[in-house]
Structures are given as C-alpha cells and as structure tokens.
C-alpha cells in the first residue's frame, strides 16, 4: 500500500519555556502542504526500512514501525520511502514518514485504537501526531496536544539553502525567553478565512537563533518579501522559509528569483485533515 507523507509548515511558532524533562513547551499552528514523500508499507515478518536518501540508523519511520509492532503484537512491515521533502528544513520530513508508517501498519493490522496510535506517534517525535492528523491545528506541549483548526487554501513558495539546521542543536543552544507571536490572532484568522490577517501574524520565535547558525534564512525571508510575498517566515526549526502569495502565479514568478537556492518549490496547503 502506498501513502503520501505530507510535509507541514508552521504558520506560527512560540517557545514558551523549558520543561523539567528538558523539552521545550511550544505553542504552534501547523498546516499540512501538498509536498510529500511516498511511503510504501507492505506486510512482512520483521520490520525493514529502505529509502532513496540516507536515513539515520534509528530513523523515525523505523522507530514508529517497531513501536507499533511491539504494542500491537503483530508482524512487521517492509517499508520503502521515496523522498521529496528536504531534511533539516523544518518541513517535518521524518515525522511525515513516521506518520505514514503508522497509518500503513494500522491499515494492515487494525490492532490499535486511535488513542494508542497517537500515543505511539507522540513518543516517536514531536510533529508526528500532527502529521498523523493532517489539516491545520494548534499544537501545544511538545506538539502532542492538538486542537484542529479550519484549513485554508494558501499559495506558497518554499526556499531552502544548502545548509540545514539541526533541531537538537538549535534547541540546546536557545537562550530564553524568546519573543512571542499572536497565536490567538493567527488561529482566529484561520477560522475566519482571512488571509491578510493570517499573513500579518505569521511568526517563528526560532528565526533569529536559527539565522545565527544559517544566515541565509533571514536573507531569503527578506528576498521573498521583496518579491511580493504577503508574509515570509521560517518554518519549524529551519532552514526552509516559506513565502505566502496571493496566487500560485505570483509564487511561480517569484521562484525564478532564487536560482542560488538549493531547493525551491511552489505548493499549496491541504485544507482538510486525513480524517475528513
């Protein structure tokens, strides 16, 4: 069975503080986009993962599959990943793959409840529960507390330089407190379908710390605004930046202004969750 593992963007990301367990308390609004990896999940006795890009030895896809097998006491799966989402970009590539693996194994075996599936997702990675749900949502805690929001059709241009950002290294080096964006206003703009109001509230508290590691993040955001983006914002922990445009044609035109970028992609948000 073949699954689309959709990337995500963070329309807003606040870091509220450091928790006693060492993780950071977040408040973020995420939206699925139509950029995706393709994940094939087939029944097998054991768990195996192959991909057309290098993966960590203990990849999120592998950990998700092993956790499902252990919890459900089922056989495993033969998993193949065809990657299109760049890594170390803040687009949720490994989380999307892990969520697709969980969906595939649940389709194969149907052995877990929805709550059990989302519990495995949360243990696998902070963005995996959202990627499993899809659509748009306000995510709190480390990402496991999800409040669905109405999706909105948004035209985007993604831009990423050659250098990525390590999420672990970025968070370990954070100096708190960080500025906070208007999460309530951004959520209200989504509920109202108000693109200009949403654009005015696009925000990522991690931008300045990430740009100190990868300076082109700030430069790409400035250039996106100069090309007419209603908003330009880093997604996740970077290093990808998205520009929000009035139309797909505007985004396609702006794409031509970034021949120096390692990755550019015009895409749209997916306004509905996987459950719709």
**Which positions are catalytic?**
8, 127
Tokens 């430069």 sit on residue: 219
d(CA 188, CA 182): 10
Cα dist. 112→2, 71, 123, 236, 274 in Å? 20, 8, 15, 30, 17
């Amino acid at each position: 069975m073949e699954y689309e593992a959709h990337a995500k963007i963070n329309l807003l990301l606040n870091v509220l503080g450091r928790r006693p367990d060492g993780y950071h308390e977040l408040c973020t609004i995420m939206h699925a986009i139509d950029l995706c990896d393709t994940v094939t999940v087939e029944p097998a006795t054991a768990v195996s993962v192959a991909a057309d890009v290098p993966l960590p030895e203990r990849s999120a896809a592998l950990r998700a599959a092993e956790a499902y097998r252990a919890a459900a006491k089922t056989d495993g799966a033969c998993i193949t990943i065809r990657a299109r989402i760049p890594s170390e970009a803040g687009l949720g590539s490994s989380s999307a793959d892990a969520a697709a693996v969980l969906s595939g194994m649940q389709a194969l075996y149907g052995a877990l409840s929805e709550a059990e599936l989302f519990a495995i997702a949360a243990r696998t990675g902070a963005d995996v529960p959202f990627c499993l749900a899809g659509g748009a949502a306000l995510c709190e805690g480390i990402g496991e507390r999800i409040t669905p929001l109405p999706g909105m059709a948004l035209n985007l241009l993604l831009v990423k330089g050659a250098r990525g950002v390590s999420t672990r290294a970025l968070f370990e080096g954070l100096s708190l407190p960080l500025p906070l964006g208007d999460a309530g206003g951004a959520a209200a703009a989504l509920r109202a379908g108000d693109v200009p109001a949403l654009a005015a509230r696009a925000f990522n508290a991690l931008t300045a710390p990430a740009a100190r590691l990868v300076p082109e993040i700030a430069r790409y955001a400035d250039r996106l605004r100069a090309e007419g983006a209603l908003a330009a914002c880093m997604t996740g922990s970077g290093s990808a930046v998205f520009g929000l445009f009035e139309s797909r044609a505007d985004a396609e035109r702006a794409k031509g202004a970034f021949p120096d970028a390692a990755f550019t992609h015009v895409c749209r948000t997916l306004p509905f969750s996987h459950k719709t």
